[in-house]
Structure 1
């Protein structure tokens, strides 16, 4: 059972955690909007689509914000606990500080389990829906948005040029419409003194023009020269189909998934398939090679020599070769001939060997990418435990529980952490390090640091004392 000191310390975490989590979510949301506002504005998207896109992208923000909020709240709670001399009183009562850290560490582990489940099941689906929406938005044409003295040609077959637009009355002045030639109409230029727009529904737009003229270009028949017809009007109405400009959604399930949109189980299944394909490629190459080549696979082209006339005439003196089979041949001519034939055969298989290497390298790269993502689904949520183990002793040692001081320390620790995660993922994708070390390396480093700091505040063990003992001995 928890005593009142442990319960009080847990309560000290709630306020800072919620405040930091909300603040970080707001900052990440603003960053997302700043990066993608140009893709959302000017396309006439329904507000429901924009809200859905934001909600789907909140999932990855939760995965990032939760560990960061844990670190800040731990620094504040333990720093405040130490600043108010509560830690001194606890130590005087004979209570080990580890007993204070244990409940918070247990809550961090529970949060890790929840975030691990969230990262493996909720995040991939949210990423998949957000990716599908982004593709639909990217292929969406801009909305019908006329601007003064600017050509607008997003409606097929028409180009608009408006000299002046009254924003209060939505009236148009000095209107020009350039109509392209199609099977059903001739090329034409329409001028009008003024006009206005009406839209009875989302897919139809009516343009009313006043006091204007038509200039039609009528082609001639049988390669004869065409004619130009001019007419005037007091009022004219043009109707346009805006169905191409309306937003249409595709089914996300019909789109292929990437490593960011798959669960760990699905990625491990893909990795198994890639490993089977690798074995199949190797076996296929070996079978093909064994059917046509009976000589040793390893050879060195640099060891091939041309026979001199003196050596060619000598049928007794043999060339000593590193290959046992060649030494059994009766003369140098047979030796060199066999070796050259073997090299010729191997040269024919060089393209197949290079193709095999390319295929294996590609599959190994894909396996590394998938395994990095599998490890990342647990490594980042596990930071909820790591940051408790690191933040608690640092808070006790600093004896400061204000938000500003905690924010400075957190900024340094989080910057190092996420830079290591990003670089580790890149190195793992390039197969320079293993996916496990790429995703868990910084966690292991912080775990060791947290254990040493915890021992520092809860016992008399000091790293410096270990070095001093070595110096004495």
Structure 2
């Protein structure tokens, strides 16, 4: 009898492979399309080498893998187990006295191994991939390859020129209502160039860009004459056609070493992040101790004569006599001038202490916020991979209940759970970063909730357990 369940379990695992692979690559394709849509303006028309574009895509695929695997697990479970019950195989194994949990165990084991792999992948592979992708993005933005004109936006990507174009026809690279401010240099004077139309043309070497203008004017600033040194003189010239060539050799793309750039929470492994967290926590404790031990606002007072209040000195100048005060320190002073001096010194020290306290509070709040961000990333490296196990507990019983193994039902049900899961993760991360909830709660809430639901459904499907039996037995 032991051989039959093992053979059955292997068959169930084989049924998951096809749907899992199909769903995984489908989701990877959709995530890749989303990435390309978001960054298409940055990649196309910039003169970037094809290898750089491919490298940027490949390095961003790592983060997509971590998202796609748990989603593929859920959809594969819904399809495989739905097909299993649709063919009445579940009824057959129950008739043979085999508990349905035996067909869930192998997939649960595979999901556990997959979770372990994703935890390793998220900690050892993903940070380096994110660092390479981040470095590439920075290089592209800093080097500004290409001519990135946008309608109604000032562009200063080429040295000594500022461009403003009202409308652009991308199909023909035509520009309309063009304004160019030419900064003064040693070789040319300051000028403002306006034209009704323009056209961009790139040379074959890719290092020179030519702008052809039509129907415009050039307003040049001339040298001041001796008679009118305080008056700016301009010369306006009309033109039918005008050409400007720009040297783009300095804007050519060059790649930097990713290791030379600093890392953030998304480009660190768990050990590095916990080191930063530990350092920040020590700084917070140190700042709190410095505030507690800060006695700069206290003015020492010593009565060298006695512990009692000294007798007041009688004087004919009534304005100089000390005023009655409810503050003991002021009562020890004999003149109004001394009291005012002590009051001024005390207020100054208190204001200084308040400023110090405010600075420390701001620094501490910033450090606590950074600690939360790092802890969110640490928890995320575990919570998303563990979702593979949670989705098996959810997908297996629901798939058996639906008795439908087609992609439509699986996609519909999977979309509901995945939408809830990712909204919870995204909002949990935002709330944790803003210190409304703890990082643990933000990253594990959806796992715990769906895990409890999945565990109950699995127990309910595989046994005769019902919550209603608890109070029935008591009765």
Q: Distance in 2 between matches of 1:220 and 1:432?
A: 63
* Alignment match, 1:139: 142
- Would the aligned equivalents of 2:145 and 2:252 in 1 still touch at CA under 8 Å? no
* Alignment match, 2:39: 36
* Alignment match, 1:246: 252
Distance 1:144 1:7, change over 3 A: same
* Alignment match, 1:465: 469
Distance 1:254 1:222, change over 3 A: farther
2:292 aligned with 1:289, yes or no?
no
Q: Distance in 2 between matches of 1:31 and 1:239?
A: 37
Q: How does 1:259-278 map to 2 (within 5 A)?
A: 259-278=265-284
* Alignment match, 2:109: 106
Specify every segment of 5 or more residues in structure 1 that has no aligned partner in the other structure, as ranges: 171-175, 231-235, 296-332
* Alignment match, 1:49: 52
* Alignment match, 1:324: none
Distance 1:93 1:369, change over 3 A: same
- 1:131-172 alpha-carbon deviations (Å, 9 max, x no partner): 22222222343525999xxx99865467999xxx9x99x9xx
* Alignment match, 2:186: 183
2:100 aligned with 1:94, yes or no?
no
RMSD: 4.8
Question: How far off its partner does 1:241 sit?
Answer: 2.5
* Alignment match, 1:305: none
Question: How far off its partner does 1:35 sit?
Answer: 1.5
2:424 aligned with 1:433, yes or no?
no
* Alignment match, 2:27: 24
* Alignment match, 1:378: 382
* Alignment match, 2:359: 355
- Would the aligned equivalents of 1:220 and 1:227 in 2 still touch at CA under 8 Å? no
Give secondary structure in 1 for the equivalent of 2:295.
Answer: helix
Question: How far off its partner does 1:238 sit?
Answer: 8.5
- Would the aligned equivalents of 1:141 and 1:244 in 2 still touch at CA under 8 Å? no
Distance 1:107 1:340, change over 3 A: farther
* Alignment match, 2:328: 337
- Would the aligned equivalents of 2:75 and 2:411 in 1 still touch at CA under 8 Å? yes
Distance 1:287 1:198, change over 3 A: closer
* Alignment match, 1:312: none
Distance 1:9 1:335, change over 3 A: same
- Would the aligned equivalents of 2:219 and 2:234 in 1 still touch at CA under 8 Å? no
Question: How far off its partner does 1:224 sit?
Answer: 8.7
Distance 1:265 1:157, change over 3 A: closer
Select which of 67, 71, 92 maps to 1:68: 71
Q: Distance in 1 between matches of 2:82 and 2:118?
A: 26
Q: Distance in 2 between matches of 1:218 and 1:364?
A: 58
Q: How does 1:358-437 map to 2 (within 5 A)?
A: 358-437=362-441
Distance 1:223 1:203, change over 3 A: farther
Question: How far off its partner does 1:437 sit?
Answer: 1.5
Distance 1:340 1:435, change over 3 A: farther
* Alignment match, 1:315: none
Q: Distance in 1 between matches of 2:180 and 2:428?
A: 57
TM-score where L is the length of structure 2: 0.74
* Alignment match, 1:233: none
Specify every segment of 5 or more residues in structure 2 that has no aligned partner in the other structure, as ranges: 174-178, 302-323, 333-341
* Alignment match, 2:336: none
- Would the aligned equivalents of 2:20 and 2:76 in 1 still touch at CA under 8 Å? yes
Q: Distance in 1 between matches of 2:117 and 2:415?
A: 24
- 1:193-225 alpha-carbon deviations (Å, 9 max, x no partner): xx997846343568999xxxx999985886799
Distance 1:31 1:153, change over 3 A: closer
Q: Distance in 2 between matches of 1:109 and 1:41?
A: 41
Distance 1:31 1:292, change over 3 A: same
Q: How does 1:191-206 map to 2 (within 5 A)?
A: 199=203, 201-204=205-208
Q: Give the aligned length.
A: 429
* Alignment match, 1:127: 130
Q: Distance in 1 between matches of 2:429 and 2:234?
A: 68
Q: Which moved more, 1:376-385 or 1:39-48?
A: 39-48
Distance 1:85 1:215, change over 3 A: closer
Give secondary structure in 2 for the equivalent of 1:3.
Answer: helix
Give secondary structure in 2 for the equivalent of 1:401.
Answer: coil
